[in-house]
Copies of this chain bind each other. A is one copy, B any other.
Amino acid sequence: MFQTAAKTFSVSAATASAYRRVFLVGLRRYCKKTSTKLRVSEALTGAQLGADVKVQGWVRSVRPQKNNIFLHVNDGSSLQSLQIVADSKLNDPLLTFGSAVEVTGILKKSLHQKQPVELEAERIRVVGECNPVNFPFKIKERHSLEYIRQLPHLRCRTNAFSSLLRIRSEATAAIHSYFKNNGFVQIHTPTITSNDCEGAGELFQPSGPAFVDDNFFSVPAFLTVSGQLHLEVMSGAFSRVYTFGPTFRAENSQSRRHLAEFFMVEAEISFTESLEDLTKVMEDVFRSATECVLARCAEDVDLFHRHVTPGHRDTVEAMLNKSFPVISYTEAIDILHSSSEKFTFPTDWGCDLMTEHEKYLVKHCGNVPVFITDYPYDLKPFYARDNQDHPKHTAAAVDLLVPGVGELCGGSLREERLNLLMARLKRVGLEDTYKYLDLRRFGSVPHGGFGLGFERYLQCVLGVDNIKDVIPFPRFSHSCLL
């Protein structure tokens, strides 16, 4: 454009010089535009050494020295920040911990072993200021998980929580991959359902705005506690289905293991022959997701294994190195009976396993995940398949207990036999309002499934004590921030 202008008109020297200046500014701008935009994780690979790049992110540290200033800039793409080296002239009072910056310069090999790459800055622009006095996080301070939990709108800016979110994202992807690679069809089971799952009381009920209708759906509706019924519907046409989404409990609980809204992975498999068809999938999901997370988020996981629960890495590796033992409920009761431990709750055959029992059993089995199978028939819901055994009457149900957390998965073969299901529904006084029996009338097949609590899975792998620290926005009684 500038060249064309200069050729066409005859111009004075002054005008030519002005043109030249404008041309050079334009050229410089153009060159700036060709700085390759890189994410921090891409810059850190070192693949672009010598390149003119632009990096954008938030300042994690500022270290002014005599001639130079050193910054660390993080953009959430990795735990590691990119070191920026700049001439002191580029310093700016607004360049503070927490501020947002855009840096252009040349990627160079760093002399420090810890940082193979650094960015020699040519330009630093403060995009967004951050007053360090008001910012609730302080430079070089390690803030506790309890402290950052109070700041749900800012805690993603800490190392620990941004690591958690990257791990959560990778674990989610790994679980989807597992199911996809194994021929499962993903079903988006609904959040709002007219199925109150056995008439249990701990349900949220959504109500519409008053001006629409008192009863928006014309039938009682609830926030789902499980997608099982909807997956069982799909098990009449697909041999393998799964769902992964939010589920709800209106429990007035302040425990470290419960939330009012949490994510659950649920799978349903048709043409099952035994509980082994389920335990195999549960174990495989656990293994493949965990191996994937350890490989793809090594640094992030390391942060938890070093600073949050030192030594937890060994526990995780022990889990992966052994196959998960399978013991029956009856064997579990025998183990508890013959132990010298004093339990608060009874350990008689027919009693529910309590947290203290679950912990003992996991320890007893070598602190690895353990399957407990074939629970007393009367402890399990109406849909659990009757083992028709005597004198100890059991159902084909299975739980997976894991170190530190207790129950991670619960599942069962489902009663596919119409006459047995009808009899049991009648016995427990439930009506088939959900067309459940119809599913047994038209090509019913032996099937079974399970649910895995995703937050508990993360607690187990990372060694995080409180479930509120592994979900972006925890909901529990008396708390719904943001």
Which residues in A have some Cβ–Cβ distance to B below 8 Å?
39, 41, 56-59, 74-77, 98-100, 102, 127-131, 134-135, 152-154, 156-157, 162, 165-166, 168-169, 172-173, 176, 180, 183, 185-195, 201-209, 211-213, 216-219, 221, 223, 229-230, 233-234, 236-239, 245-246, 248, 250-252, 260-261, 263, 270-271, 416, 434-435, 438-446, 471-473, 475, 477-482
Contact = CB atoms under 8 A, between A and B. Distances in A.
A472 B227 CA distance: 12
A38 B252 CA distance: 47
Contacts of A100: 443-445
Contacts of A186: 168-169, 172-173
B477 A439 contact: no
Contacts of A99: 443
A195 B482 CA distance: 6
B187 A472 contact: yes
A477 B218 CA distance: 8
Contacts of A441: 130-131, 134
Given A205-B207, A480-B194, A157 B236 contact: yes
Contact of A153 (B58, B219, B438, B443): B438
Between A416, A439, A475, the greatest number of chain B beta carbons within 10 A of the residue's beta carbon is seen for A475
Nearest to A127: B445
A187 B169 CA distance: 7
Given A162-B238, A165-B238, A172-B188, 6 more contacts: A39-B183, A58-B443, A100-B444, A127-B271, A205-B209, A435-B482
Contacts of A206: 204-207, 223, 248
B77 A183 contact: yes
A258 to B, nearest CB: 13
A443 B208 contact: no
Contacts of A168: 186, 188
Nearest to A135: B442
Contacts of A480: 192-194, 217-219, 221
Contacts of A230: 472-473, 482
B201 A156 contact: no
A73 to B, nearest CB: 11
B185 A76 contact: yes
Contact of A442 (B154, B191, B219): B154
Between A204, A211, A233, A270, the greatest number of chain B beta carbons within 10 A of the residue's beta carbon is seen for A204
A263 B218 CA distance: 22
Contacts of A236: 58, 154, 156-157
Given A156-B238, A438-B153, A442-B135, A270 B56 contact: yes
A475 to B, nearest CB: 5
B212 A252 contact: yes
A441 B250 CA distance: 35
A189 B76 contact: no
